[in-house]
């Protein structure tokens, strides 16, 4: 099945590409991804691949790299080139140095997601280099502006190419990181994302209150509203991806699991994973801001709080509005949903997950691939109307565990062991051949 004779050479080549593109500072909102795009054009065309650059603004755009000049109904390998800013003073190694120390490559974007861009590029290079016959076209798309809403990235690309993602398979960021529970390794494959809602809640100050005889009624109402969101009285079904994850873990650990006895199951989860498991199972609310009192005279004697909320995918805006009504009950407050985007969830394709697991186990014996509902967002959220099967998946070795990686994404000292880079490339290459290749000995 495998046509690659020396994966160490592949690792070395990929490391060179990744180090170079890390040195191109594409921090968002500096709006400067085009230098990275031009570098990808150069590498791709030197390796016989075809490129198409979709410019969206001055020095911004998207790039498509493909095996053929024309493609239809492709498998899409999706990543983004922009990164969040990094303060060099906080890092042990300069964040845009692309330096390799003890076989570990440092820099902003080594996980989110220039590593993924180079993984996808290497997969296409290897498919081309080895003349692998394919049943289906495979392309990669690397976008701009993902970290700031995609207004100059995937969104205008979808407007120009509205049918490209129809009924497609998409491999994107968000998964491939392992969890370790009781010596069993579980690899997360993102099959959906929670939604995002922003809400403002206001309570009027009692007009009879004054500086000499304050009654603090408005403040107390806001405190009551905050308390209402600490343990909201709402009834929700666990999302299917999360339910499948919990069932798989319970079965492999010989634990009892029932949706109606969730707390008993969660009590067995290691503390470093518990908040993630809770967030995957229900709608969550976070107070982000509180205004009121003398420091905010513009509020005209009102108190207000702001919520960031992550609804489970089954909750649309109407259902979310009713949820807020239920939680706030009879409290004398007004609320406004400032923004709302519904989450999504792909159907579970057990054949594909079994294939991912089979490839993993060539190097990580007994590893399991499990569905995962992401609590964050990515470009995948813009593909919900295309009937796409979306996988957030590109595996890393077990030492790059989820709880370790999550601290580096948007954090300091982001880095990737080059063996994990090689591992991800090898997995994705072999997976795509088995999914769509016509392999001959």
Which comes out higher in pLDDT, residue 5 or 113? 113
How far apart are alpha carbons 351 and 353 in whole angstroms?
A: 6
pLDDT mean over 86-92 = 97
Of 114-128, 257-271, 293-307, 371-385, where does mean pLDDT reach its minimum? 293-307
Confidence of residue 212 (pLDDT cuts 50, 70, 90): very low
Confidence of residue 217 (pLDDT cuts 50, 70, 90): confident
pLDDT digits (tens, 9 = 90+) for 141-174: 999 999 999 999 999 999 999 999 999 999 999 9
Confidence of residue 137 (pLDDT cuts 50, 70, 90): very high
Confidence of residue 438 (pLDDT cuts 50, 70, 90): low
Q: Please name which of 55, 60, 63, 72 lies closest in space to residue 140, comparing C-alpha atoms.
A: 63
Evaluate the CA torsion angle 169, 174, 178, 179 in order and state its sign: negative
Mean pLDDT of the chain: 93
Residues 6+ apart with CB under 8 A from 183: none
Other CB atoms within a 10 A radius of the CB of residue 162 amount to 11
How far apart are alpha carbons 284 and 276 in whole angstroms?
A: 11
How far apart are alpha carbons 196 and 212 in whole angstroms?
A: 42
Confidence of residue 300 (pLDDT cuts 50, 70, 90): low
Predicted confidence at residue 343, as pLDDT, reads 96
pLDDT digits (tens, 9 = 90+) for 236-292: 999 999 999 999 999 999 999 999 899 999 999 999 999 999 999 999 999 999 887
Domains in the chain, ordered, with CATH? 7-174+378-436 (3.40.630.10), 195-235+282-342 (3.30.70.360)
Task: Read off the DSSP letter of residue 67.
Answer: S
Predicted confidence at residue 214, as pLDDT, reads 46
Q: What is the four-CA torsion angle of 372, 373, 375, 378, rounded to 10 degrees?
A: 90
Residue 399: Cβ-neighbour burial (10 angstroms; 0-12, 13-18, 19+): exposed
Evaluate the CA torsion angle 58, 96, 140, 375 in order and state its sign: negative
Predicted confidence at residue 225, as pLDDT, reads 94
Predicted confidence at residue 213, as pLDDT, reads 38
Residue 161 near residue 154, CB atoms below 8 Å:
no
Predicted confidence at residue 205, as pLDDT, reads 60
Alpha helices in 282-417 (DSSP H): 317-328, 350-360, 402-408
What percentage of the chain carries pLDDT values higher than 70? 94
Predicted confidence at residue 209, as pLDDT, reads 47
The answer to whether residue 441 scores a pLDDT higher than 90 is no
Residues 6+ apart with CB under 8 A from 361: 367
pLDDT digits (tens, 9 = 90+) for 360-412: 999 999 999 999 999 989 999 999 889 999 999 999 999 999 999 999 999 99
Predicted confidence at residue 189, as pLDDT, reads 98
Confidence of residue 5 (pLDDT cuts 50, 70, 90): confident
Confidence of residue 426 (pLDDT cuts 50, 70, 90): very high
Residues 6+ apart with CB under 8 A from 424: 115, 119, 176, 394, 395, 396
pLDDT mean over 192-216 = 72
3-state secondary structure of 240: helix
How far apart are alpha carbons 196 and 284 in whole angstroms?
A: 10
Other CB atoms within a 10 A radius of the CB of residue 408 amount to 17
Highest mean pLDDT of the ranges 196-205, 231-240, 400-409, 414-423: 414-423
How far apart are alpha carbons 170 and 435 in whole angstroms?
A: 13
The answer to whether residue 353 scores a pLDDT higher than 50 is yes
pLDDT digits (tens, 9 = 90+) for 9-34: 999 999 999 999 999 999 999 999 99
How much is the pTM?
A: 0.92
How far apart are alpha carbons 342 and 358 in whole angstroms?
A: 33
């Amino acid at each position: 099945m495998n046509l690659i004779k020396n994966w160490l050479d592949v690792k070395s080549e990929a490391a060179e590409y990744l180090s170079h593109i890390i040195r191109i500072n594409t921090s968002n909102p500096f709006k400067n991804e085009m230098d990275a795009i031009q570098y990808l054009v150069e590498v791709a065309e030197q390796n016989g691949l075809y490129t198409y650059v979709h410019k969206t603004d001055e020095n911004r755009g998207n790039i498509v790299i493909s095996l053929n000049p024309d493609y239809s109904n492709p498998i899409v390998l999706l990543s983004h080139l922009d990164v969040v800013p990094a303060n060099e003073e906080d890092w042990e190694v300069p964040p845009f140095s692309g330096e390799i120390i003890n076989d570990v490559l440092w820099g902003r974007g080594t996980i989110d997601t220039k590593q993924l861009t180079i993984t996808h590029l290497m997969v296409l290079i290897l498919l081309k280099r080895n003349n692998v016959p394919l049943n289906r076209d495979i392309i990669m798309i690397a976008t701009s502006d993902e970290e700031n809403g995609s207004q100059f990235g995937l969104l205008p690309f979808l407007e120009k190419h509205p049918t490209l993602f129809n009924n497609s398979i998409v491999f994107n960021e968000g998964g491939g990181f392992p969890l370790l529970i009781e010596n069993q390794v579980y690899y997360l494959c993102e099959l959906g994302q929670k939604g995002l809602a922003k809400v403002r809640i206001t309570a009027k100050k009692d007009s009879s209150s004054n500086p000499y005889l304050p009654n603090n009624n408005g403040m107390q109402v806001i405190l009551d509203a905050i308390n209402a969101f600490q343990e909201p009285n709402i009834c929700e079904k666990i999302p299917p991806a999360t339910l499948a994850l919990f069932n798989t873990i319970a079965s492999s650990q010989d634990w009892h699991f029932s949706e109606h006895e969730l707390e008993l199951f969660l009590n067995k989860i290691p503390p470093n994973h518990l908040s993630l498991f809770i967030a995957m199972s229900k709608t969550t609310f976070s107070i982000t801001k509180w205004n009121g009192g003398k420091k905010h005279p513009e509020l005209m004697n009102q108190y207000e709080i702001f919520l960031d909320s992550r609804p489970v995918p089954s909750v649309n805006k109407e259902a979310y509005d009713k949820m807020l009504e239920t939680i706030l009950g009879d409290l004398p407050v007004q609320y406004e949903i400032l923004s709302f985007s519904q989450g999504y969830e792909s159907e579970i394709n057990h054949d594909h997950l079994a294939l991912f697991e089979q490839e993993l186990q060539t190097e990580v014996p007994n590893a399991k691939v499990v569905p995962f509902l992401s609590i964050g967002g990515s470009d995948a959220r813009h593909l919900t109307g295309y009937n796409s099967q979306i996988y957030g998946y590109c595996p890393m070795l077990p030492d790059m565990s989820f709880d370790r990686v999550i601290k580096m994404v948007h954090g300091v000292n982001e880095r990737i062991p080059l063996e994990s880079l090689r591992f991800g490339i090898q997995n994705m290459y072999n997976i795509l051949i088995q999914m769509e290749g016509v392999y001959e000995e």
